[in-house]
Chains A and B, each alone.
Chain A
Amino acid sequence: MARAATTADAFNAVAEPRRRQILDALAGGERPVNDLVRLLELAQPQVSKHLRVLREVGAVDVRDAGRQRLYRLNGHALKPIHDWVKNYERSWSERFDRLDVVLEDLKQKEEGDGSDE
């Protein structure tokens, strides 16, 4: 039985540049292994090894179609990474919301100055 995908696993899985290349390639749709081998210009065993890591954390799913094995992206497994960036994004959003208030003051002040002229 495969172990459950954890946050740490997803981060590990995408820490490797080649695996991110695979995810990028699969973002465009389902692909057979041979496609990935050609795209990455790696030997098949290496590609298969990366795919295995991605499969273990649920970042990709695989299905058999005739003699081909087709891989596709499973974005849900990468959500922890998305959430991680979202937290950073939220801190900037809060900051910018406050900047909006400052800008509103500056605009009103400027309009006030303009009417005095």
Chain B
Amino acid sequence: MAVTSSGTATVTLPTDEQILITREFDAPKHLVYKAWTTPELVRRWWSANRGDVTIAEIDLRVGGDWRYVMVAEGGFEVGFHGEYREIVANERIVSTEVYEGMPEGEALNTLTLTEADGRTTLTILVQHTSKEHRDAHINSGMEAGMQEAMDLLEQVAVSLR
């Protein structure tokens, strides 16, 4: 079996309030959906290489809650939670997302999975209510443990003040 190497995620900023993440996977969409919605599987990938997922709760129904928490090296805890708004199995999930370090900035995320020739294109459209919250969301990825990014983050923070 070929080793999977589907390339990196592509992140674009379609508008001031949005983030669009795209990635192709060498797997059918029902498996991507399964990996995305099964807590013990989410625990294996969601923290990236930055720590351990300590909580992965998924109540997969409209109105149900989700919450992920990871502990980065150095004990820094990063938590996200939200509520499912729309669920189309294997195809689409609309959910809210709150970064617990900035609880006033709630985003609405739309995950879509489309399959062609056994490969799946995953997109996540993150819709924020303001540019400020969108930018803070992007910063949260850096807080999760990239020391090399801290200097830049500081400069960004200063520029946004």
Chain A residues within CB distance 8 Å of chain B: 6-9, 11-12, 15, 17, 80, 83-96, 98-104, 106-108, 110
Contact residues of B: prevailing secondary structure: mixed
Once the chains are docked, how many angstroms separate the CA of A12 from the CA of B146? 24
Size category of the B interface is 35 or more
Judge whether B31 and A84 touch: CB under 8 Å. no
Known: A87-B149, A107-B31. A8 touches B159 (CB 8 A): yes
Q: What separation, in Å, do the CA atoms of A93 and B34 have in the docked complex?
A: 19
- Contact stretch, chosen from B80-88, B89-97, B137-145: B137-145
Bound form: Cα–Cα A80–B49 in Å: 24
- Pairs of residues from A and B, 8 with the lowest C-beta to C-beta distance, nearest first: A94-B48, A98-B45, A11-B159, A92-B9, A103-B27, A89-B11, A8-B159, A93-B8
Q: What is the interface of chain B, defined by CB distance below 8 A to chain A?
A: 1, 4-6, 8-11, 13, 16, 19, 21, 23, 25-27, 31-32, 34-35, 41, 44-50, 138, 141-142, 144, 146, 149, 152, 155-156, 158-160
Check A7 against B31 for contact (C-beta < 8 Å). no
CB distance from A30 to the nearest CB of B (A): 25
Which residue of the partner chain, among B46, B47, B155, contacts A8 with CB atoms under 8 Å? B155
Whether A84 pairs with B25 at a CB distance below 8 angstroms is no
Q: Could you list some 26 contacts between A and B, CB below 8 A?
A: A7-B155, A7-B156, A8-B156, A11-B155, A11-B156, A15-B159, A84-B138, A85-B13, A87-B142, A87-B149, A87-B152, A89-B21, A90-B8, A90-B146, A91-B48, A92-B21, A93-B8, A96-B6, A96-B9, A96-B23, A99-B35, A100-B5, A100-B6, A100-B25, A104-B4, A104-B27
Q: Are A110 and B44 in contact (CB under 8 A)?
A: no
Residues of A within 8 A of B44 (CB): 98, 101-102
